[in-house]
Structure 1
Amino acid sequence: MSPRDVLLHGGAALVRHHAVASVVLCALALLATLAFPLLARKFFVDENAFILGAASTSFDAVDAKAAASHAANAREAIRVGVSSGVDATDALRGWVSEELEKIRLDVFAHEFARTPPRGSRANATVGRNLHGIARARKGNGREGIVLVTPIGDPRSDGPDADADALALLLALTTKLRDAPWLAKDLCWLVPDARVAGPVPATDAWLREYHHPSGSAGERFGRVGAIQQAYAVELPRGASFDRLRVSMEGRNGALPNMDLVSVAIALGRGLVTTRGDATRVKRPELEGGWARVESAARPLVGRRAAAGYVGDARSVVAFMRRLASGTPTGAHASFKSFAMDAITLRGFIEGRDDGGRRRGRVSYDGARAFHAFGILLESLTRSSNNLLELLHHSMFYYVIVDDFRFLSIAEYVAPSAMMLFAMVLTAGAIAGRGWNPTSRPPRTEQEEEEEEEPPPAPPSHDWSSAFAVAFAAHLSGCLAGATCVFAHDAGLGLGVVAAATWVVAYGGAAVAHLAASNFGFFDAPRGPGVEPAWSSLWVVTLSVTSTALGALTFFNFALALPVTAVLAPLCLAAGRGPGSSGRAAATALAPLAFALPFDGGATSLGALASHHRSWTGGTFALPLMFGVVWPAVMQCALIAAARRPTRARRRVDRGKKTR
C-alpha cells in the first residue's frame, strides 16, 4: 500500500471515528497543558550582537554619588515648588528641564490632552511630556534608543520615588552623552503620568513622534527610528532588593524575547551578588496551590511536588497577566508601535502589610544608583550594537521563572488539538451526517467493481443554519454594545450588568423563535436529509474554531482557557439523546457570563470598565459577546433540538443501505 493510500485510509478512519478521536484529542490537550512546567527550557540569547558580558561599564561610584546628589536637589525642588503652590510633578519637570539644558542636551516639551478613561468623573486636562536628546558623535541620526522615567503616576511611591528615578537617569545621561562607543542617539523621555498613568502619556508622545499634528510646532526633536526602549521605575529612597522585568503589553503583546533574556541575565547577576540575602526565592505556596502540592507529595516526593506546583503557579500568573490585556508599564506604548521595550522596576520584596520595609535591603542610596546605573548602561550599550531590529528570537512565550520559559512550540499544542477536534467533527458531520450508516467507506477499486453507486452525501439546510447563527451573533453584538454604551453613560456596574443581561436574553429568545420557524425542533425530514440542528452544529464548530484559532496567535493566554471550555461544549452539544436537551439548554446559557471573570452581579459592568480603560479596548469583551455568548447560545439550541428515537434511526439506516 502506497503512502498516499495509507494517508487516505487513515484520514477516512479518523473521520469515521471522529467522536472517539475528539475525546482523545481533548484528553491529550489536558495532559499537554498539565505538562507545561515540565517542558520549560532555559533562557538563551539568540542575538550575538548584544555581546552580553563582553563589554565593560563606566558608570562608577562617582556617578552614583552624583545621582544621590541629584536626588537631594530634586526633592528640594519639590519642597520649594509645593510651598509655592506648584504641583510636585510640575516642579520635578521644571527641575529636570533646567538640568538637561545645563548639560547641553536638546530639550523639547510636548503638550497633550490628558483624557481620563470613559466613565470616569475626572476632567480632561493638559499634560506636558518632556524629552531630551543626546546626539551620538559617531551616529547619523537615523536610529535611537529611548529611556523612559514616568512622573506623577498615582500608582508609584510618590514624588520622592520619581525624584530618585530622574536623578539616576540624569547621572546616566551625563555619562553616556560623551561615551566613545555611542553610535545611536539617546532620547530621555519624561512622560506626564498623572490622571491615567504612563501608558496614555507615552502613547500621545509616540503619536506625535510618528504622526506630527503640528501642535508641537518645530520644537519636537526626533532620533530617527527608535530601536529599543527601557522604562525605569524606582521605589521611594531608591532602596530595592529585587528587580522586576515587566514586558506585558496591550492584549498580551510581548517584545522580542532576546530583549527580555538580556535584561533578566544582567539583572539576575545584579541581585545575586550579595549571596543568600538576595538570592531569587520562590514565594511560599498558599491556598489551593498548597493543597495541590500536599496531594502530589506522596506520589512524586516533596521536592518534585513543590517544584512542579511552583512552576505551574508561575505559568498561570504570567498567563493571567497576558489574558487580562492590561499593559504593565510605559513599555506597552512602544510595542503598540512595533518597537521592543521593557520596564525595569526595583522593589523591596520584604514589606509588611503597612508597606514598611522588613529585613535587610540589598541596595540603598548610592549603592542602588550604582547597581541600577550599571544595568542601564549595559542594556543601552547592548542595544547600541544592533544593526537592525530584533528578529532572531521569538515573540510568543511564557515566562516560568528567572531561568526558564515556554516557547510557542510547547504551549500551542493543547489549543491546536482541541481546535483540530472541532474542525474534524465539523467536517465529518458536513460530509457524512450526524448519524451515518455503519457501513465502512469503500476504496475507488471497490466502487468501480460494484454496480451500485455510492450513497449520496447528506443534504444540509445551510441557509437556515446560517440564519440562526447570524441571529445568535447579532444578539451577542447588541449585548456587547449595550454593555459598553451603558458604561459610557455613567451607569452603575449593577445597572450595566442588568441591561446587558436583558438584551442578551432578549436576543436569545429571538434566536429561539427563528430556530423554531426553521424547523429546528421538528421531526427529521427523512433519510438522506440532515436535521436543521445538525447543519447549525457544523456552522457553530466551524465559526467558533476559526475565531479561537485566530485569537490563539494574538493572545494565547486568553484563548487557551476559553477554548478549553468551548471546545468540549461545542463537541458535546450535538451528541446524546434529546430527552435532556431542554434541561441542558437552561444550564448552558448562564455559563457564558462566568468565563472571563470571577463572577458576581457586577461582572459585566467591570468588564466594560476594563475594556474602556485602554485605548483600543481589550480582547475580553469582544471575545465574550462575539464568540462565547453566540457559541453557548447555539449549543443550547442544538442540545434542545429534537432527535429521532433509536427505532427511527434503525429504520433510516435500513432505507439508506437499500
Structure 2
Amino acid sequence: MSTEHREKEEEEVKTDGGSPKIKPRPIVQLGIFLISHSPVFSVVFSAAGVMALLLLPLLAKNTYISENALMPGSARSMLSHRDVSDGSKLVNDIQNFRLNHEGQGVEVQRLIGKYMSEMGAEVYYQKFQPDGNHFHPLHFFSGPASYTDLGNVSCASYGVNVAGIIRAPRGDGKESIVLVTPYDFINGGDYEALSFGIASSLFSLLARVTWLSKDIIWLVADSRYGDYRPVSAWLSEYHTPSFEVSDLSKCDDELNISDSFRRAGTVAAALVVKVDGRSERFEDTLSIYAEASNGQMPNLDLINVVNYLAVHRQGFYVKVEKVVSLLSSSWLKTVGEILEAVGKVARTLNPDWKFGIPAADYLEGSATLASSLYSQALGIPTGPHGAFRDYQVDAITLKVSPRFPPGNKGRQHEFFLRGAQLLEGTIRSVNNLLEKFHQSFFLYLLTSPGKFISVGVYMIAFALLVAPLPMVAASLYIDGCNTLTNATDNSAENLKSWKWLRAAKQVFALHLLGFIVTLLPYFISQLPGEQSPTNRSIVWATTSSSLLLVTFVTIPGCSPFSSRPHGANWTVLKSVTISAAFIGLCLMSIINFATAEIGALLLVPMCLMVRPIKPDLRSGRVKSLLCALCSMVLVTIGFPVMFFAISKGLLGEGLVGLSLGGEFWTWLESLWAWKSATYLYIGMVHLPCWLLCLCILFHPS
C-alpha cells in the first residue's frame, strides 16, 4: 500500500474499539451545520429574501428583441391616406346608423361585414351564447370553458361576432394572425367606435399587399356581455368545431345571417385593439395588457416589438398598469433615496459600477412591479387576449387613448394613420417569423414597458424566503424527539420514531378540511333562490366553522385544546406544518410563481414565528411577551379575509363602506369562475396552514 493511500485512509477512517467511523460528506456536514444554527439562518435568509424583493426594480434590464427575424421598423409603411379615409368612412357610417336606428338587431354587424366583403375578405358571422362561464370543481383544470345550452334564450340575446379573412398571397394557409376589435353594439360609445377606424384602415391595406405569408383574420367581437366572452366563444369554435345542430341555428332566419364558420391557419399571434377614453396627457397614450390566466404571459418579444414601434416610430406614450397608491408611499420613497445614495457612493468608488437608480424611477418601477406581480398572482386575464393564451397563442391587448375628444374629425385622420401604422409594423414583424415565438422570455415581471425582470432573477427572492423552512422543520423535529426521550424512560425510542405520525394526522385532517371548504362554494351557489354575496359568505363561514368543530371533536388529538398526553408535541406539530407549507409553496411556484411569491411573504414569517402563547404569557418577560405579540399579529394578518382587507387598502381602493364578507365572496367567486389556481392555493395550502398555526398558538404546552 502506498504512503499517500495510507495517509488518506487514516484521515477518513478512525478506529474506536474496533468500529470504524467514516467522516461525513461535506454536504452532510453543511446540512448539520445549517440545522444546528437554524434560528440564525432563518432570520438571515428571510431578511435577505425581503431585501432581494425590494432590490428587484434595480435589477431590471432593458428589453431587447431576441428574434432577429422580427426586424421591427425595418420596412417603410405602405399605409396610404385612401386606406385611412376608408376607415374614417366606416366609423362615420356606424355612428350615423346608430343615431338614426334603435334596436338590438345585427344591422351594425352586417354593415361591418359589407365593408369587409368590399375589401375582398371572406366574411362570416358567429353566434354565441351570452353566458356559460360557471365554476365546476371537476373541470377546474380542463382548459377553456365549454359553453352549454342555457335553455330558452331569445335570439335577440345571442351575441353575434363578425369575422373577415384575408388569404395570404404568399402563404399556404397554415398560419394566421388575428386582429380583434371588441365593440358593444348596443351601448358602445363614440371612443370605442374609433377602434374600427384603426382596424379598417389596416385591413384595407392588407387586402392588397403582396408580402403577406400568413392569413389575416379581423374579428369584431360583440362585447355587450364583456370583452372576454365573445373572443373565447370564437376561439372555442375555431379550435373545437361542433358538428351537431344546435339551438343557435334556429335563429339564423330571425337574425338573417348565415351559419357557415370559416377558418384560416394556426394562429401565430393576436392583437386586441380598443380605444378607451381620452388621454390624460398631451399625447396619445398606449396601454399594454399582457397577463392571462394563472399568471401566463406572452412571449416578451411581442411586447418589445409593439413598445419599440409605438415609442420610436409613432410617438405614443406607452405605459403598463401601476399600483398608484405606492407612488405616494413614504417608506418606499425612503428606500429609493437610500438606494440612490448607495449608488452614488458606488459610482465614486468605481465609475463602472452601475448600481442604483433615481428615487423617482425606483418608485415607478416598484409600483409597476407590484401591479405585474399582483395581476399574475390573481390568475385572472386583464383583457380578451387571455382567451388566446388558453390555446398557447401569444396575444396582448392594446388600449389606445387619444388626446382629442371623439367629435374632433380633424384629428381622427392622424390618429387612425398612426394607430394603423403601429399595427402594420407589428403584423409585418410577426409575418416574418418562420416559427412560433420562442427566443425570448415567457416568465418575467415588468417594471416599465421597456424594462423587465427575468425568472432567473426574481426566483432568488422566493428561494431565499422558503430556504429556512426545511432547516427549521428538521431542527424542530429533532428538538421534539429529544424532549420526548428526556421525558420518557420506557420505550422512548419507539415513541420517538412514531411521534411525527400524530402530528401528520392532525396536518392531514386540516388539509382535508381545507379541500372540503374549497368545494363548499360550488354547492352553496347551487342553493335555490337569489342570495346576496354577504349571505352566501355567512353560509360558507358558518358551514366551515361547523366542519372545523366536528373535526376537532371526532379526531382525537386534532384539537388545539386537547389534553397533552393525546395531543401532538407542539414542536413536532410545527415541524410537520412547516414541511407542509414548504411543499405547498414549491408546488404552487410551478403553477403560478407570483402566487407562491406573495404566499411566501405571508406564510413563511407566520410559520417560523408562531409558538404557544401560554408559556410566554406565564413567564411575564419582555422577550416572551414580544414573541407572543408577534405570533398573534402574524396569525391575524395571515387570515385570508384579513389579508384581503389589508390588500384593498394597499391598492388604494379603501375600506370605507366595504362589506368585508360580501366583497371577499365576490373576489373568491371571480377566482373560481376564471379557474384561477390561486383559489386552490388559498383553500388547500394557505387556509390549512393558518389553522395549524392557530392550533400551535393555543397549544396546551
TM-score, structure 1 normalization = 0.81
Which residue is equivalent to 1:53? 73
Alignment of 1:274-293 (within 5 A): 289-292=328-331
1:265 and 1:457 map into 2 onto residues whose CA distance is 67
Q: Is the 8 A contact 1:129 1:192 kept in 2?
A: yes
SS in 1 for 2:264: coil
Of residues 20, 25, 33, the one that matches 2:45 is: 25
Give the drift of 1:209. Answer: 0.9
For 1:14, the aligned partner's letter is L
What does residue 260 of structure 1 align with?
303
1:38: Cα distance to partner? 0.9
Matches within 5 A, 1:486-525: 486-487=524-525, 489=527, 490-513=530-553, 517=557, 521-523=562-564
Shift of 1:188: 0.9
With 538-547 and 605-614 compared, the bigger mean Cα shift is at: 605-614
Q: Which runs of 5+ in 2 are unaligned?
A: 1-10, 13-22, 136-151, 250-257, 342-356, 484-492, 618-626, 649-654
Do residues 560 (structure 1) and 560 (structure 2) align? no
Q: Offset at 1:617?
A: 2.7
Greater shift after overlay, 555-564 or 472-481? 472-481
For 2:108, the aligned partner's letter is L
Deviation of 1:177 (Å): 2.0
Counterparts in 2 of 1:294 and 1:375: CA distance versus 1, 3 Å: closer
Residue 126 in structure 1 maps to residue 158 in structure 2: yes
Q: Distance in 2 between matches of 1:524 and 1:13?
A: 33
Letter in 2 for 1:212: P
Q: Secondary structure of 1:228's match?
A: strand
DSSP-derived class of the 2:480 partner: coil
Q: Which amino acid is 2:307 matched to? A: I
1:265 match: secondary structure: helix
1:567 CA displacement = 0.9
**How much does 1:506 deviate?**
2.5
Q: 1:283 to 1:474 in 2, by over 3 A?
A: closer
CA 519–486 in structure 1, closer or farther in 2 if over 3 Å, else same: closer
The residue type equivalent to 1:113 in the other structure is Q
- Distance change in 2, residues 1:271/1:175 (3 Å): closer
Hey, what does 2:675 align to over in structure 1?
A: 617
1:102 counterpart residue number: 118
Q: Give the corresponding residue for 2:620.
A: none
Between 286-295 and 28-37, the greater mean CA deviation after superposition:
286-295
Instruction: Tell me how far 1:365 sits from its aligned partner.
Output: 0.5
Question: Which residue of 636, 657, 663 maps to 1:606?
Answer: 663
Alignment of 1:139-150 (within 5 A): 139-150=171-182
**How far did 1:330 drift?**
1.3
Distance 1:519 1:235 in 2: 55
**Counterpart code for 1:486:** I
Does the CA contact (< 8 Å) of 1:415 and 1:560 recur in 2? yes
Aligned equivalents of 1:597, 1:258: Cα separation in 2: 37
Aligned mate of 1:169, from 194, 199, 215: 199
Residue identity matched to 1:416: A
CA deviation after TM superposition for structure 1 residue 148, in Å? 0.6
Partner of 1:151: 183
1:532-554 superposed Cα distances (whole Å, 9 cap, x missing partner): 44443333222222222222233
Question: Structure 1 stretch 214-223 or stretch 543-552: which is displaced more?
Answer: 214-223
| More deviation, 94-103/500-509 | 500-509
In the TM superposition, what whole-angstrom CA distance separates every residue of 1:323-381 from its partner, at most 9, and x where no partner exists?
Answer: 3333222111000111100111111579xxxxx79xxx999311111101111011111
The residue type equivalent to 1:321 in the other structure is S
Equivalent-residue separation in structure 1 for 2:262 and 2:338 (angstroms): 63
What residue in structure 1 maps to residue 383 of structure 2?
Answer: 329
2:217 paired residue number: 187
**Corresponding residue number in structure 1 for 2:432:** 385
Q: Are 1:234 and 1:347, in contact at CA under 8 Å, matched by a contact in 2? A: yes
1:230 to 260, 265, 271: 271
1:434 maps to which of 480, 483, 504: 480
Q: Does 1:78 align with 2:98?
A: yes
In the alignment, the residues of structure 2 paired with residue 544 and residue 634 of structure 1 have an alpha-carbon distance, to the nearest angstrom, of 10
1:594 equivalenced with 2:610 (yes/no): no
1:376 to 398, 418, 423: 423
Gaps of 5+ in 1: 351-355, 438-454, 644-658
Letter of the 2:397 partner, please give it.
T
Q: Counterpart of 2:298 in 1: which secondary structure?
A: coil
Q: 1:113 aligns with which of 129, 140, 156?
A: 129
Conservation of the 8 A alpha-carbon contact between 1:145 and 1:186: yes
Supply the distance in 1 between the matched residues of 2:99 and 2:79 (Cα, whole angstroms).
Answer: 29
Check whether the contact 1:127–1:192 (CA below 8 A) recurs between aligned residues. yes
Matching residue of 2:487: none
* TM-aligned CA distance change 1:15 to 1:576, over 3 Å: farther
Instruction: Output the CA distance in 2 between the equivalents of 1:6 and 1:81.
Output: 82
Paired letter, 1:464? R
Equivalent position amino acid for 2:695 in 1? L
Distance 2:380 2:337 in 1: 39
Q: Which of 520, 527, 539 lines up with 2:576 in the alignment?
A: 539
1:96 is aligned with what amino acid? I
Q: 1:404 to 1:298 in 2, by over 3 A?
A: closer
Contact kept? 1:482, 1:499, Cα under 8 Å: no
The alpha-carbon deviation at position 296 of structure 1 amounts to: 5.2
For 2:699 and 2:332, locate their aligned partners in 1 and report how far apart those are by CA, in whole Å: 44
Once residues 33 and 586 of structure 1 are traced to their aligned partners in structure 2, the CA distance between those partners, rounded to angstroms, is: 22
Deviation of the 1:229 alpha carbon: 0.5
Asked if residue 365 in structure 1 is aligned to residue 412 in structure 2, the reply is: yes
Q: 1:502 to 1:200 in 2, by over 3 A?
A: same
**1:221 is aligned to 2:221:** no
* Cα 1:573/1:466, change in 2 over 3 Å: same
How far did residue 284 of structure 1 move?
A: 12
Question: Structure 1 residues 553 and 604, CA, compared in 2 at 3 Å: closer, same or farther?
Answer: farther
Query: In the aligned structure 2, how far is the partner of 1:298 from the partner of 1:99?
Result: 56
Distance 2:675 2:432 in 1: 36
Residue 347 in structure 1 maps to residue 397 in structure 2: no
With over 3 angstroms needed to count, the CA separation of the structure-2 counterparts of 1:47 and 1:26, relative to structure 1, is: same
Amino acid aligned to 1:160: D
Change (3 A) 1:56 1:519: closer
The Cα shift of 1:159 comes to 4.0
What SS is found at the alignment partner of 2:51?
helix
Q: 1:137 aligns with which of 162, 169, 194?
A: 169
2:131 is matched by which residue type in structure 1? T
> Alpha-carbon deviation of 1:10?
1.5
* Cα offsets for 1:496-515 (capped at 9, x unmatched): 22222222332333344356
Instruction: Give, in whole Å, the separation in 1 of the partners of 2:581 and 2:388.
Output: 32
Structure 2 length as normaliser, TM-score?
0.77
Letter of the 1:539 partner, please give it. V
CA RMSD of aligned residues (A): 3.8
Residue correspondences, number = 602
1:64 to 69, 80, 84: 84
Q: Offset of 1:634 from its aligned partner?
A: 0.7
Aligned position for 2:138: none
Q: Distance in 1 between matches of 2:663 and 2:25?
A: 55
Indicate conservation of the 8 Å contact 2:174/2:265, yes or no. yes
Q: Name the CA shift for 1:434/1:263 in 2 (closer, same or farther; >3 Å).
A: farther
Partner of 2:457: 410
Matched, 1:210 2:239: yes
Change (3 A) 1:523 1:283: closer
- Whole-Å separation in 1 of the counterparts to 2:273 and 2:41: 51
Distance in structure 1 (CA, Å) of the matches to 2:684 and 2:339: 43
Amino acid at match of 1:269: H
Change in Cα spacing, 1:595 to 1:297, as seen in structure 2 (3 Å) is: closer
Question: Is the CA contact 1:254–1:396 (under 8 Å) kept in the aligned structure 2?
Answer: yes
